[in-house]
Structure 1
Amino acid sequence: MNSLQRIALALVIIGAINWGLIGLFQFDLVASIFGGQDAALSRVIYTLVGISALCCLPLLFASTATEENSGIERNRNLEYTTEIAEETDPSEFNNNNKK
């Protein structure tokens, strides 16, 4: 993820928080900070959030092949050993008991 996508994602998160506040408390944080919904600066923020959402769309459809490959490489050298001691032949116990 490059820096432009990170900035776009941050703006989308800010927009989502603002929509959450509107839905839960009927409080528009962007409008209250920048002078109302009709203020020029508020409209710029709303526009930037919308453009950022469009920039984040490719992230939704990005291939996860690199994530899957990194998981394979990370787990490639695992050794699962449970052997603690040498196994003995059960017939040896029978021979020892007969003596």
Structure 2
Amino acid sequence: MKWFDNTALTIVIIGAINWLLVGIFRFDLVAFIFGNLSWLSRIIYTIVGLCGLYLISLYGRIGSNS
């Protein structure tokens, strides 16, 4: 399951970088590459959101390992 954690974390970091670009430069990289709210960009936004929700479980797992 560690590979899934690392993959989800990588996707969320890429999503965070996209939000950084939106916040500083008003440039949405996903919309630029895949189109503004096209079906493909909506799928990417959904995957990033689901990975973020999955990583909430990381807090509990970190606490139980300590």
Larger relative helix fraction:
2
Residue deviations 1:10-32 (CA, integer Å, cap 9, x gap) = 11001100000000000000110
Q: TM-score, normalised by structure 1?
A: 0.60
Q: Supply the distance in 1 between the matched residues of 2:22 and 2:12 (Cα, whole angstroms).
A: 15
Match of 1:20 in 2: 20
Between the two proteins, the alignment pairs up a number of residues equal to: 64
Which blocks of at least 5 consecutive residues in structure 2 are unaligned? Answer: none
Match of 1:88 in 2: none
Structure with higher Rg: it is 1
Q: Supply the distance in 2 between the matched residues of 1:44 and 1:18 (Cα, whole angstroms).
A: 15
> Does 1 or 2 have the higher relative contact order (CA < 8 Å, sep 6+)?
2
Match of 1:41 in 2: 40
Q: TM-score, normalised by structure 2?
A: 0.88
Q: List structure 1 runs of 4+ shifted beyond 2 angstroms.
A: none
Let me know the Cα RMSD of the aligned residues: 1.3
Which blocks of at least 5 consecutive residues in structure 1 are unaligned? Answer: 66-99
Q: Structure 1: which amino acid aligns with 2:29? A: L
Residue deviations 1:72-97 (CA, integer Å, cap 9, x gap) = xxxxxxxxxxxxxxxxxxxxxxxxxx
